[in-house]
Amino acid sequence: MCGIAGWVAFETDLTTRSETVDEMTGTMACRGPDDSGTWIRPQVALGHRRLAIIDLPGGRQPMSVRTPRGEVAMVYSGETYNFQDLREELLRKGHEFRTVSDTEVVLHGYLEWGDAVAERLNGMFAFAIWDARVDKLVMIRDRLGVKPFHYYPTRDGVLFGSEPKAILANPLARKVVDIDGLRELVGFTVAPKWSLWKDMYEVEPGTIVTVCREGIRERRYWSLEPQRHEEELDATIAHIRELMTDIVHRQLVSDVPRCVLLSGGLDSSAVTGLAAARLASLGEQLRTFSVDFVGREETFKADENWDSPDTPFIRDVTNLVGSTHQFITLKPEDLTNPDLRRAVITCRDMPVGFGETDSSLYLMFEAIRRQSTVALSGESADEVFGGYRWMHDPEAVNAKTFPWLAYRSPMSGDRTAFLAPHIRAQMDLDAYIDSQYASAVSAVGHLDDDNDHQRVMRVNQNLHLTRFVRMLLDRKDRISMAVGLEVRVPFCDHRLIEYLYNTPWSMKTFDGREKSLLRAATKHVLPESVQGRRKSPYPSTQDPGYALSLQQQAKEVIADRDHPVHELLDQDWLADIVQQDVSKPSDARRGIDRVLDMYHWLDLYQPTLEF
C-alpha cells in the first residue's frame, strides 16, 4: 500500500521540474512513511511513497524495466493477492525477477499482456505505467475502486495522484470548486468520475485510462454482468464458504503485523473467525481491535438505530476464536478537538461533514497503527449480501431514486439546509439526483426472463456496488492511509461479487433475514449471539458533552463574522441550529458538523469558489 503521483507533459522538459515533482510526491508521505522515490524523464515524472508490506527490502519504487524498444516504468499502490500465481506463470514464460514483490509481478505482467494485465489481477490497486516504447501513460484502477486514483488533464498532458492533494501541489492545477462539485458533495449519488475539484476526475473503478499525444482515452475492463444462477441453496452456501475461506487466506499474506477490525457484527465477525482459524493452523494468534466510547456500555440506551452496544458481542467472538483483543476507548473531548477535525478534512481533501463517524475512525486507526500495519475489515458485506435496512424496505426499494436517499437515514435529510438560499436555488439538487438516478438505472443489464421484482432488486444491488460502496471505500482508505495503516476488504473480491450479484434475492433472504447467505456460510466460525444479531450501524457516542462542545464551536463560527464561510451559510438557519437539542445524532447535529467542516476546509485549502 502506497501513494503515487505523476506528471506527463509532451511539450515540457520535466527534468527541470524535479522540485514540483518532489512536492507532489511529498503530499503522499502519510500513505507511504517507509520510503520515497521519483523517476524523471523529459516527458514524464513518476513519484512514489511506500508503505512496505511485501518484500520489505526489494519492493522499492518507481520500478522500471529496460527493453530493446525503450524503458517501461511503474508506480503502484495496493496489493495483488494472486501475485504468486502470476509470478509462476510469468516464470514459465521466461521472465526473470529481481525481487519477490507483487509490484514487480504486475510490471512484468504488463510487459507480457499489455493493459490486459488488469483482467488477471485479484486485488486492490491503482497504478500508472509509462511505456516509452510508444510514449504513453497507462492508468489502471481496481474493479471496485478500493484504492483512490485521480487525474487532471493539462494543456499538453496530465497530472495524477492517489489523492487530490498530490495534484493540487502542482501549480498547473487550480484549486477551484464550482456548483457541480458542491452539488455532488451534498447529493450523495456518487457520480462517476466525480471530484470536488473543478477539472479533476477519478479514474473509474474497473477502468483503464490511456494518455498519449493524441489525447486521453478510457476502456472499461470490468463491469457487473447479469448471469443465470444455476446452483441450489446448499451448493450456493458451500461455494460462498469456499470463496470466503480462500479470500481471507490470500489477504492475510503480509511481511508485517496484521489484525482484523472487529465490531461484533456479522461481517467483521465472519472475517475474524476465518482469519483466526487460518492463523491458528500456522501457529499464530490473531489480533483484533474495536472502537468504543467511555461509558457507552454502562449507559447505553436503545433507539431506532442501535438495539444494543457492541461490546458483549465482541467478547463472545474473541472468546470463541481466541484472539488477542484491544478496545480503543475514546472520550468526548478526544472527538471534538478542532485539530482532529482538520486532520480528517486534510486526509479526505473535502468537507464531508461526517463528524464523529470519521473522527473516531481516525483515532482508532491511529491507535492500531502503533501495533499493526495491515488490518482486514468487514466493509462492503452489506452491499454484496444485502444487509442495509433500506434494501428490505419496500418503499425505499421501489422509490424512483437511490434507495439510501429514500430511506430515513443521515443521508436522506435536508443536506442543503445550511447553505445560503441563493446557493440552494442554483444547485437544483432534486433535478440533479433524478438525472443521476436515471443514468445509473439505464446502465443496468437484465436477463430476458427477469420478472419485475427481480429487475428491481438487480437495480438495487447494482446501485450499491457501482455507486454507494465507493463512498465508503474512499472514506476507509483515505482515513486509514492518513496514519499509514493498510485496510484490506475481503468482501470486495471480484469473484465473490460476481457470484453474489447473480444469486437470486430470494436466496439472499432465504431465512427471512438480511445477509442470510453470509450467516449460513460462516456459521461454523461464529458464536450464536452474533448469528442472531440484527444489523447495527457504526457506533456513536451518546455522551451529551460531545453535543455541547459541537454547539460551542458553532457559536464561535458565528462570532467569526469576517470568515468567508458566512458567504456560504444560511444565517437564520445557523442562528437556530445552535439552540437545538443535538444530544443524539440528528439533522441538526449533522448540520453543525457540515458547518464546522466547511469552516476549517476553507482555512486549510483556500479554494476559489465559482458559484
Q: What is the pLDDT of residues 127-180, one digit of tens each?
A: 999 999 999 999 999 999 999 999 999 999 999 999 999 999 999 999 999 999
Query: Could you say which residues of the chain have pLDDT below 50?
Result: none
pTM of this structure: 0.96
Q: How is residue 528 annotated by DSSP?
A: H
The pLDDT of residue 544 is 80
Residue 492: active-site member: no
Say what angle helices 494-501 and 233-251 make with each other, to 10 degrees: 160
Task: Single out the residue of 473, 468, 152, 479 nearest to residue 348, CA to CA.
Answer: 479
CA–CA separation, 529 vs 84, rounded Å? 38
Question: Is residue 85 packed enough to be buried (19+ CB in 10 Å), middle (13-18) or exposed (0-12)?
Answer: middle
The pLDDT of residue 30 is 93
Q: How is residue 391 annotated by DSSP?
A: G
**Count of Cβ atoms closer than 10 Å to residue 452 Cβ:** 8
Catalytic residue, candidates 2, 30, 259, 492: 2
Backbone angles phi, psi at 76, to 5 degrees: -140, 135
CA–CA separation, 184 vs 192, rounded Å? 10
CA–CA separation, 362 vs 503, rounded Å? 35
Asked whether the beta carbons of 592 and 600 are under 8 A apart, the reply is no
Task: Please state the length of the chain.
Answer: 611
The pLDDT of residue 413 is 72
Q: Which helix (H) or strand (E) holds 189?
A: none
Per the structure block, which three cell numbers stand in for 176? 477551484
Q: How is residue 294 annotated by DSSP?
A: T
Per the structure block, which three cell numbers stand in for 398? 421501489
Q: What would you report as the CA-atom Rg of the chain, rounded to the nearest whole angstrom?
A: 24
CA–CA separation, 592 vs 595, rounded Å? 5
The pLDDT of residue 538 is 81
In angstroms, the first-to-last Cα distance of the chain is 37
270 Cβ contact partners less than 8 Å away, ≥ 6 residues apart: 244, 378, 381, 518, 521, 522, 525, 526
Average predicted confidence (pLDDT) for the chain? 94
Per the structure block, which three cell numbers stand in for 382? 452489506
Question: Is residue 298 packed enough to be buried (19+ CB in 10 Å), middle (13-18) or exposed (0-12)?
Answer: exposed
CA–CA separation, 161 vs 5, rounded Å? 4
Tell me the three state secondary structure of residue 5: strand
The pLDDT of residue 55 is 74
Task: Single out the residue of 491, 478, 248, 489 nearest to residue 365, CA to CA.
Answer: 478
> Which residue matches cell numbers 504488463?
110
CA–CA separation, 116 vs 113, rounded Å? 6
